[in-house]
Structure 1
Amino acid sequence: MPVTPSHISEPRFTTPAGEIIGWRDRGVVRATGIRYASVKRFCPPVDAPPATEPIDATQWSKAAPQNIEPELNAALGVSVDEFAACEEALHLSVTLPERSASAPRPVMMWIHGGSYVFGTADLPVFDTRPLALEQDVIVVGVNYRLGLLGFLGGYAGRPANLGLLDLISALRWIRINIAAFGGDPNNVTLFGHSAGGDAAAHLMIAEGAEGLFQRAIIQSAPLGLRHKRTKMHAKMALKAATIGHDTPLDEVLRVQTQVVEAAQGFGLKSAMPFAPQYGHYPLPKEKHAPAAWRRAAERIDILIGYTAEETALFLVLSPGLTRLRGMPLFGASLTGALVAATTRKVYKHDAHAFAHRHTKAGGRAYVYRLDWNKGRAPYGAAHTMELPLLLGEPESWREADIVKGVAAEELREQGSRLRKLWAEFARGGELSHAGQVESVIEWWKASQ
């Protein structure tokens, strides 16, 4: 992203949160790094009160505390320098076209992924400028607590699902303040990738989120890993209980690594040990979740999907599986079968089941499959592959391993098509064209 410039006539927004001073950037106006809530460790967020002084919204949002993931950094072309952390406050950033609008714009809230342990909304590769500028929408990127500080609780008197409560706090901020930016508070779409998509799905049934959004785009959510996690969480909690309110943050993150190790041995779900916990506020018990999703169907439209070769990303990142792939005669076929089976189990099967239940309950749902990059070594149409098309610009992704060798013009052209599709759904919850965008993506309206 460019360095934040200074301007003589900064854009200003008079909002219920206070007067917000933003900045201009190549056809868009940004208001970045806005504090939407304060947090204390192991406590629910406290919505930020109205500011008595102007809010300087010209710096990027700080990340939630997290351990660095070198392999994912390399895959996404992300630098360690982009993860300055803040534990005491939560931030969001607003991006909107600089041109005037004749009507309130649709609002899209971006929820980053990263297995609930990694990521931040304001990474250069997640730049929302192209989406906002091309599609005439307002995009709000949100940070939320991660790991054992955000998605492990129910022990030692500590609440669970704090990261979900953070996102609900952000939705409240949007509901109250977005009209001052020219946004429509009654036309809000969540779009999240991986853990972010999983969070969007669970916000559909979260107490306190009712009426705060009307649509959800659930991208590559590992819904197949969400079942029967109670025993694993209990084992994780034994390790996490050693952390106190005053434990230094470096020690918290060190223990988090031990907590992840404690989660091993529980099958595929061990690959994402942190996640929303059923039966803890604001979520129902797991056995009641399907009924809650059915009740939500008539008020929330969904677009849900996956990439054609989701788990190929993890194959490339695993030295052992990479060696298997390189074995003569059967290596390629074995790893191809493994990718197909795990993609189906973790992503595809539950995405279709989710959409089927939604339509049967009276809701509107579309299912998509992203095929772009299929057949290209080494990643193919792997997990995260839609992100270079939706967010950022070719320059943002220049260092990313997942798109090495892809021409900038191809990213621009195919990205423009995918952004148009996402924004069309955000505007009214429907997709009007035939169910294919050349070789990029296929979608179909889910039937009962």
Structure 2
Amino acid sequence: MTDTARTAQDATPRPPVSEDTLDTRLGAFPAVVEDGLVRLRNIRYARAARFAPPAPVPPDASESAGRQHVRYACPQPPSPADQVYGPQLDGVTFTEDCLRLSITRPVEVSAPLPVMVWVHGGAYVSGAGDLGGYDPAALVREQDVVVVTVTYRLGALGFLGTGAPDDGGTAGGGTAGRTDADDAGPAPRAANLGLLDVISALRWVREHVAAFGGDPDRITAFGQSAGADLLSHVLGADGTEDLVHRMILQSGPFGVRGGREEIHDRLVTETHGLRADGPVDEVLAAQLGAAAAVAGMNDRAGMPFAPEYGRAPLPPEADFLAAWRRRAPRLELLVTWTSQEGRAFVQLDPKGRALRDKRVVGRALFALVSRRVTDTLFRRGSKAFARGMADAGAAVVAAELTTRPVGNPLGATHAVELGLLFPNTGRWAEAPVVGPDGARTLIEAGRELRAAWAEFARTGRLAADRADVGPGWTGRLRVTRRS
């Protein structure tokens, strides 16, 4: 079933909300109604067998019954990044049946609202869309928007195809209809499955969000770190020309985009024996072993799993920039990075921590190495991406975020803004990147940043810098380019 698009001028009252359902023309969807918000969790947007592309499914109002208090995630190993970002996955249910999205909207919706689709980061190996640290309640409540959070496949389950670059990305004939039982040996693996998942989710949103109070003509996809990188690949993928025209790309690791064939080939070799019908723990163990095997191979080895060029739906790497440029005139982009991105990564590295602890010169050396990581992985690449897209005709705002909790040694580091955008104070109090002191004032401190993101979602523009971050925090969002 395809939903009929509704324009911003259509002021027909939205469907009524009861205590536990949202009645839509697609059916009565299970919901949780609290504090003026409606949450609809774990709506399936596609199905997929292991190592096979997603098969889109229409909305099914009964399918998510009993799932409104569950948070799903793609199976994944424990993340070392928890040392900086806290226990992100506490209470999560891991399942390969994770191609689901969750919708949060106001109870009262009198006209179609702007839609913001969140694509999480995590170096393509960790995270999920519907986590406590990504709670969009404040953003929805303050800014009168609909927020959709997307969960997709990760690591060897989502970003490790085995087909040759010119085989169409189907890895020897893998299809969405294949079942685990059909595989008698090592399974061929389709490429770019996590990317295909996100594309399927964005199509689902475009086709059906009007039934949930959203405006399909005002959809903004926003993502951070690997989520931003993944969205940038959506912009260059085949068949996505009319999918989404407005994006917020936060801290995309554009400095290490491309140049991954050596890493990919070694990963495939290391995971050759994986079966589609084996325990998922075998996949995760193979993923960890493969990542260890490529460690130190080159400067891409820190994020070994990533989109694969020349495998569907991506063109060859040599043609990818041209695909971006062709689409640029129809795009509105907000490209951001933080002023001290690298501090989290240096902190996570035992050698980096040892450097910081050196007497007299330790702090200065830590800051110097962090600055180099910031420039190499994020700042220069983000500026170059923004400049290139603007030169090709996109409407681009580029901005550096210096906002940080007062006194926090990690400063304005990678992902520090997530607590401001999604201010779940209990969750972020457990994360050293924010900490209990920074978490106490997250609601007030992030109000201007949430307003800026919603302004861009409504208009495709950012009128001015945002400086007022409230008590316990300092810094601002400083626009460096507007075109």
Taking a change above 3 Å as real, the CA distance of residues 272 and 38 of structure 1, as seen in their structure-2 partners, is same
Structure 2 residue 478 is matched with structure 1 residue 442 = yes
**Which of 324, 332, 335 matches 2:363?**
332
Aligned residue number for residue 423 of structure 1:
454
Q: 1:32 to 1:366 in 2, by over 3 A?
A: same
Q: Is the 8 A contact 2:235 2:327 kept in 1?
A: yes
- Name the counterpart of 1:21: 30
Partner letter of residue 38 of structure 2?
Answer: V
State the one-letter code of the partner of 2:101. Answer: L
Is 1:268 matched up with 2:295? no
CA displacement at 1:407 relative to structure 2: 4.4
Is residue 160–residue 268 contact of structure 2 (8 Å, CA) maintained in 1?
yes
Q: 1:172 is matched with which residue: 203, 218, 242? A: 203
- Mapping of residues 229-244 of structure 1, within 5 Å: 229-244=260-275
Residues 375, 407 of structure 1: alpha-carbon distance in 2 compared, 3 angstrom cutoff: closer
Instruction: Return the letter of the residue paired with 1:317.
Output: L
Give the Cα separation in 1 of the matches to 2:133 and 2:404.
Answer: 18
Partner of residue 76, structure 1: 85
SS in 2 for 1:266: coil
- In the alignment, structure 1 residue 202 sits paired with structure 2 residue 210: no
1:10 matched to 2:46? The reply is no
Q: What is the CA-CA distance between 1:335 and the residue it aligns to?
A: 1.8
2:257 matched to which residue of 1? Answer: 226
Q: Distance in 2 between matches of 1:88 and 1:15?
A: 26
- Contact 2:329 2:395 survives alignment (8 Å): yes
1:90 aligns with 2:99: yes
- Unaligned 5+ segments in structure 1 are 1-6
Structure 1 pair 291/19, CA: closer, same or farther in 2 (3 Å)? same
Moved more, 124-133 or 409-418: 409-418
Alpha-carbon separation, structure 1, partners of 2:374 and 2:361: 20
Mark the CA change 1:409 to 1:303 in structure 2 (over 3 Å): closer, same or farther.
Answer: same
Mapped contact 1:78–1:125 kept (Cα < 8 A): no
Report 1:22-421 matches (<5 A).
Answer: 22-51=31-60, 53=62, 55-56=64-65, 58-69=68-79, 71-78=80-87, 80-101=89-110, 103-155=111-163, 157=172, 158-373=189-404, 376-408=407-439, 410-421=441-452
Quick one: distance in 1 between partners of 2:75 and 2:265?
Answer: 23
Q: Distance in 2 between matches of 1:53 and 1:227?
A: 42
Letter in 2 for 1:14: T
- % same residue: 40
SS in 1 for 2:81: helix
CA distance, structure 2, for counterparts of residue 36 and residue 13 of structure 1? 19
SS of 1:185's equivalent in the other structure is: strand
CA deviations 1:46-93 (Å, max 9, x no partner) are: 112453847426233410111111x42242232653331111341110
- Quote the Cα distance in structure 2 between the aligned partners of 1:375 and 1:10: 41
| Alpha-carbon shift at residue 177 of structure 1 (Å) | 1.2
Residues 30 and 374 of structure 1: CA distance in aligned 2, closer, same or farther (over 3 Å): closer
CA distance in 2, matches of 1:257, 1:54: 33
CA distance in 1, matches of 2:302, 2:246: 28
Kept after mapping to 2: 8 A contact 1:154/1:280 = no
> Mean alpha-carbon deviation: is it higher for 353-362 or for 155-164?
155-164
1:21, distance to aligned residue in structure 2 (A) = 2.0
Report the counterpart of residue 4 of structure 1 in structure 2.
none
SS of equivalent to 1:397: helix
User: 3-state DSSP class of the match of 1:395?
Assistant: helix
CA distance in 1, matches of 2:18, 2:466: 47
After superposition, the Cα gap between the structure-2 partners of 1:138 and 1:270, relative to the gap in structure 1 and judged at 3 Å, is: same
For the residue of structure 1 that corresponds to 2:23, the secondary structure is strand
In 1, the alpha carbon distance for the partners of 2:251 and 2:271 equals: 28
Q: What SS does the corresponding residue of 1:365 show, helix, strand or coil?
A: strand
Cα drift, residue 339 of structure 1: 0.9
Task: Count residues in correspondence.
Answer: 438
Distance 1:321 1:54 in 2: 47
Shift of 1:427: 0.6
The answer (yes or no) to whether the contact 2:44–2:64 under 8 Å persists in 1 is no
Q: TM-score, normalised by structure 1?
A: 0.93
How far apart, in 2, do the equivalents of 1:54 and 1:249 lie?
A: 24
Following superposition, the deviation at residue 434 of structure 1 comes to 4.4
Query: CA offsets per residue over residues 263-307 of structure 1, 9 Å max, x none?
Result: 223332111001111111111111111111111211121111111
In structure 1, C-alpha distance between the alignment counterparts of 2:63 and 2:160, rounded to whole Å = 36
Q: SS at the partner of 1:199?
A: helix
Which residue identity is paired with 1:68? P
2: CA distance between counterparts of 1:190 and 1:340?
Answer: 29
Contact 1:187–1:427 (CA under 8 A) maintained in structure 2: yes
Change (3 A) 1:176 1:13: farther
Deviating 4+ runs (over 4 angstroms): 52-55, 434-438
CA–CA separation in structure 2 for the residues paired with 1:236 and 1:9: 49
| Corresponding residue of 1:3 | none
- Out of 415-424 and 45-54, give the one that drifted further: 45-54
**TM-score, scaled relative to structure 2:** 0.86
Deviating more after overlay: 339-348 vs 329-338: 329-338
1:247 Cα deviation (Å)?
A: 1.7
Q: In the aligned structure 1, how far is the partner of 2:454 from the partner of 2:408?
A: 30
SS of match in other structure, 1:400: coil
Amino acid in the other structure paired with 1:10? D
Cα distance, 1:345–1:446 mapped onto 2, change above 3 Å: farther
Residue ranges of structure 2 left out of the alignment (5+ in a row) = 1-16, 164-170, 173-188, 470-474
Whether the aligned pair in 2 keeps the contact of 1:32 and 1:58 (CA below 8 Å) is: yes
